[in-house]
């Protein structure tokens, strides 16, 4: 099984695991050793699954404003954790391919392997939830058909993205492409760069 397929398998298993409890506060037991890439992939999709459902909850038109702010702050923290984990994945690839000498005509990709894998994680969630809509007993035939068409597109998108990631990793390993990692310099979470935060200290 190549790396992209491994990602799909782990992401689908984690997405299914989340929906056994459907609880944003539940903390699962990861079946993988802590210092493995599988552990990182498991944790990555769990963060995405929780955030997906927090985004649902916060859109409740009757939500208490105080609760909504609490969830918004939680989503902000989750976004930072998600970014950190993507960078952790890219560090794994940088280390894995550190001894590869790029060919003279090697090119760089538009995104790093980890950010493409991030999209696979989100696709697992989209596919799961679109399949739920297709099988909703209380939905109209029109709704079901619309969602069935969307599900076909999502499945095709996952197939294409999986192939593209596999090709990218093969190209990096062969020296046909090289990777750089531009760390996400999120300014709004940093009290040294967010003027609202550092302005309050003056």
| Residue 197 predicted with pLDDT over 80 | no
Classified as helix, coil or strand, 177 is: strand
pLDDT at 202 exceeding the cut of 60: no
The per-residue pLDDT for 183 is 72
User: Exposed, middle or buried, 191 (CB in 10 Å: 0-12/13-18/19+)?
Assistant: exposed
Q: Enumerate the H helices of the chain as residue ranges.
A: 3-21, 37-58, 65-96, 113-134, 141-174, 195-199
pLDDT in tens, 179-188: 988 776 667 7
User: What are the beta bridge partners of residue 107?
Assistant: 177
Does residue 101 or residue 195 have the better pLDDT? 101
Which pLDDT does position 201 carry in this prediction?
Answer: 57
Asked if 30 and 39 count as a contact pair (C-beta separation under 8 A), the reply is yes
Question: At a CB cut-off of 8 Å and minimum separation 6, what does 115 contact?
Answer: 86, 90
To the nearest whole number, what is the mean pLDDT of the chain? Answer: 94
Q: 14: closest CA among 50, 58, 55, 53?
A: 50
């Amino acid at each position: 099984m190549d790396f992209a397929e491994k990602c799909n398998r782990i992401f689908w298993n984690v997405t299914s695991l989340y929906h056994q409890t459907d609880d944003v506060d539940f903390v699962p037991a990861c079946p993988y050793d802590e210092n493995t890439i599988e552990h990182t992939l498991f944790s990555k999709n769990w963060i995405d699954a929780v955030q997906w459902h927090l985004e649902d909850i916060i859109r409740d038109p009757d939500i208490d404003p105080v609760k909504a702010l609490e969830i918004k702050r939680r989503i902000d923290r989750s976004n930072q954790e998600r970014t950190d984990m993507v960078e952790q994945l890219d560090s794994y690839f940088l280390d894995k391919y550190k001894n590869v000498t790029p060919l003279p005509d090697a090119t760089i990709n538009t995104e790093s392997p980890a950010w493409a894998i991030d999209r696979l994680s989100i696709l697992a969630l989209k596919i799961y939830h679109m399949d739920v809509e297709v099988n909703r007993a209380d939905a109209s035939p029109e709704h079901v058909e619309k969602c069935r068409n969307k599900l076909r597109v999502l499945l095709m998108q996952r197939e294409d993205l999986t192939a593209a990631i596999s090709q990218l990793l093969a190209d990096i390993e062969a020296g046909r492409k090289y990777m750089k990692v531009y760390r996400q310099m999120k300014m709004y979470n940093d009290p040294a760069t967010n003027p609202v935060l550092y302005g309050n200290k003056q």
